Structure 1
Amino acid sequence: MPRQIFQLRISLAGVRPPVWRRVLVPGGYTLDRLHRVVQHAMGWRDCHLHSFEIDGVQYGTPDPDDGLALRDELDTRLDTAVGKGSRFHYTYDFGDWWEHDLVVEDVLTADPDGRYPACLDGERACPPEDVGGPAGYLLLLEALADPEHPEHDAMRDWLGRPFDASAFDAGRAGTLLRRFC
């Protein structure tokens, strides 16, 4: 049977203008591997906890001490949990609470010469880690855009590097996916 490839659109909820990615992922990937795809495609650094929600069921890395009822993401394959047209959610960083909407746009037959996972497209840079969720990110963007903003210097210092919110390089994201996923 030919290998199935899932075309997913990953959108960061609560952020305008939209931050999104379109990726191709083997259907045989476990949700643990899909977590790594989301991390590298979006530009996160995998510093925080995460979970998936599919049809009301939570998946992640179970920890008997945290009291969360999570199914083990290592035991669940993408192609057994979702199909074409499915919508599901991925939450990253339970403090900042970054919610991602995932849509299975298509299920394709793998190209024998194709390399997967792959990033086809996307827009805008991922917010910096620990910025404070969507509200903190909005404040960061406002402060950086206005040198007269009372938080301008503090936010620039906190970032410690240049930040271009409009920047996204699908080729770079694809290289990271192939290297680390």
Structure 2
Amino acid sequence: MIYQLRIALDGVDPPVWRRVLVPGAFTLDRLHRVIQLAMGWGDRHLHVFDADGVQYGVPDPDGLLEVRDELDTRLDSVAVKGSRLRYTYDFGDWWEHDVTVEDVAPADPGMRYPACAGGERACPPDDVGGPEGYRAFLAAYADPYHPEHAAMHAWLGRAFDPAAFDPGPRTTLLRRMT
């Protein structure tokens, strides 16, 4: 079965979200990679899933973070249509994502999965400082008279359009992961 997921980033306005189609048999570690690629994150930080109060992630060898192993957990074992999961990325910036199972349907034989079926707005840059830091970044980045304008452009080192999003390149990246 194919799960249609809507992944929405909390704490940013206007909303940043993605719609992805993934096999229910994907383990949560594969879903983590889907979220990273679909959103546009750099996969440089820790993460954790929360499904009905149970946390899943990469087991901590020191036992500081108690999680069930995401490698051993399939999406279809923790979610059904209408379910909501929480996905937290980067425990410093604390990016929280609301993952909603919008639909569960048989696979279309003419389609390849995973796929990015839609979304809006660019993902914030990694290490920008969470939602508050992102708001400050956007203000400085957009205003040539802001005292941090040049520093933000230099820090990012690339062009950035917060309104831009194209699902095509995201789907290409997703297909390369399989």
Q: For 2:105, which of 91, 95, 108 is the aligned residue?
A: 108
2:8 matches 1:11: yes
Q: For 1:51, which of 36, 48, 51 is the aligned residue?
A: 48
**1:68 Cα shift?**
1.1
**1:96 Cα shift?**
0.6
2:119 matches 1:122: yes
**1:113 Cα shift?**
1.6
For 1:37, the equivalent position in structure 2 comes to: 34
The TM-score, its normalising length taken from structure 1, stands at: 0.96
For 1:74, the equivalent position in structure 2 comes to: 71
Residues of 1 paired with 2:123 and 2:177: CA distance? 18
Residues of 2 paired with 1:68 and 1:92: CA distance? 14
Partner secondary structure for residue 89 of structure 1: strand
Q: Which amino acid counterpart does residue 65 of structure 1 have in structure 2? A: D
2:155 matches 1:158: yes
Partner secondary structure for residue 113 of structure 2: coil
Partner secondary structure for residue 23 of structure 1: strand
**1:64 Cα shift?**
2.5
For 2:136, the equivalent position in structure 1 comes to: 139
Residues of 1 paired with 2:32 and 2:135: CA distance? 25
**1:63 Cα shift?**
1.2
Partner secondary structure for residue 34 of structure 1: helix
* Partner deviation per Cα, 1:105-154 (whole Å, 9 max, x = no partner): 00010011210001000000110110011111000100111111111111
* Partner deviation per Cα, 1:82-125 (whole Å, 9 max, x = no partner): 00000110000111111000000000100112100010000001
**1:177 Cα shift?**
0.5
2:165 matches 1:168: yes
The TM-score, its normalising length taken from structure 2, stands at: 0.98
Percent identical residues:
70
Q: For 2:96, which of 94, 99, 102 is the aligned residue?
A: 99
Partner secondary structure for residue 154 of structure 2: helix
Partner secondary structure for residue 101 of structure 1: strand
Change beyond 3 A, Cα 1:150–1:66: farther
Q: Kindly tell me the number of residue pairs found equivalent between the two proteins.
A: 178
Q: Which amino acid counterpart does residue 171 of structure 1 have in structure 2? A: G
